[in-house]
Amino acid sequence: GYPRGVSTFEALIAAQDRVEPRDEMPGDYRATLVRQIAQHAHSEIIGMQPEGDWITRAPSLRRKAILLAKVQDEAGHGLYLYAAAETLGVDRDDLLEALHTGRQKYSSIFNYPSLTWADVAAIGWLVDGAAIVNQVPLGRCSYGPYARAMVRICKEESFHQRQGFESLLTMSRGTPAQHAMAQDAVDRWWWPSLMMFGPPDAESPHSARSTAWGIKRFSNDTLRQRFVDLAVPQAEALGLTLPDPDLRWDEERGSWDFGTIDFTELREVVSGNGPCNEVRIGRRVAAHEDGAWVREAAAAYAAKQGTRGAA
């Protein structure tokens, strides 16, 4: 029965069981989840921008409809995740405030520009691909509401990944100029996609504790390697190359060796110095301010409904 005490928390974690909102939990467990779920939610809504930039410029009605639906899915993912964070006792307004003032992070990947139409396809293939590899294990994380949010998110993201692959394949098999555009997009998005998995294990301050608590099921480097192993044969199927001369099949490990990642770039982008950080936050804040009247109207309507119910 509820609520279950802190000693039960240890038992739940040991049994790989789920922790639910009304269970007692250590303050640091709660804080870690708020940090990660909020960062994840922020990534989804900031992540609407690079692709959103192409909605008015999609090359056909069909591609435009697909892109609109994908960007709307990302808004939905943000909402599930903010709702999951709220089960931990935080307020959505406070989380948005933390995003807008830079106190909470969002994924480094969304600070890169989408320069051509092929970038939309490369984002679907690589960024959604990396997101799925990272998030499928989160579906088994110890916190119930976060784990359950992952089920639908991963299903939708795997559809997004396939549409990106299909779009990239169409361009790769198109005219020489279209093929070159697809290759250029992959060249620019490959390394930033590998950085999505976070710093190397040895430099990941949260990993040990998050693993002990069953929030993380695999390390940053393990998931990064899994992603590379999936992407290499897919690139071949696309007829495109990955911009890494050190990619080599390692017979012994049964995995692809890859070149050195420039983690200085990740640090720079995360600390606000990526190519698009200012644009992304500026637009997010403007959208929030533009939406003030909707929030006010909704609150006024809710208050009026409340009065009627009481009368």
Check residue 47 for interaction with ligand FAQ (CB under 6 A).
yes
Q: Which of residues 106-125 bind ligand FAQ (CB under 6 A)?
A: 107-108, 123
For 96, 170, 216, the CA distances from 86, given in Å and listed in that order, are 12, 42, 20
Q: Which stretch binds ligand FAQ (CB under 6 A): 39-47, 143-151, 172-180, 278-286?
A: 39-47
Task: Give the type of residue at 195.
Answer: M
Q: Tokens 């040991």 correspond to what residue?
A: 14
Question: Which residues touch 208 (CB under 8 Å, ≥6 apart)?
Answer: none
Check residue 245 for interaction with ligand FAQ (CB under 6 A).
no
Q: Which long-range contacts (CB under 8 A, 24 or more apart) does 115-118 make?
A: 115/185, 115/188, 116/181, 116/184, 116/185, 117/54, 117/57, 117/58, 117/59, 117/181, 118/168, 118/171, 118/178, 118/181, 118/182, 118/184, 118/185
Q: Tokens 């692959």 correspond to what residue?
A: 165
- How many residues sit close enough to ligand FAQ to count as binding (CB under 6 A)? 29
Judged by CB under 6 A, the residue of 158, 178, 204, 241 near ligand FAQ is 204
Judged by CB under 6 A, the residue of 114, 163, 207, 277 near ligand FAQ is 207
C-alpha 191: how far from its chain's center?
Answer: 16
Judged by CB under 6 A, the residue of 196, 228, 238, 276 near ligand FAQ is 196
Site string for ligand FAQ, 7-36 (x = CB under 6 A): ----------------------------xx
Q: Which stretch binds ligand FAQ (CB under 6 A): 16-24, 105-113, 165-173, 287-295?
A: 105-113
Of the pair 4, 35, the CB lying nearest ligand FAQ is at 35
Check residue 220 for interaction with ligand FAQ (CB under 6 A).
yes
The CB-of-290 to ligand FAQ minimum distance in angstroms stands at 21
Residues interacting with ligand FAQ, by CB under 6 A? 35-36, 39-40, 43-44, 47, 74, 105, 107-108, 123, 127-128, 131, 134, 195-199, 204-207, 210, 216, 220, 270
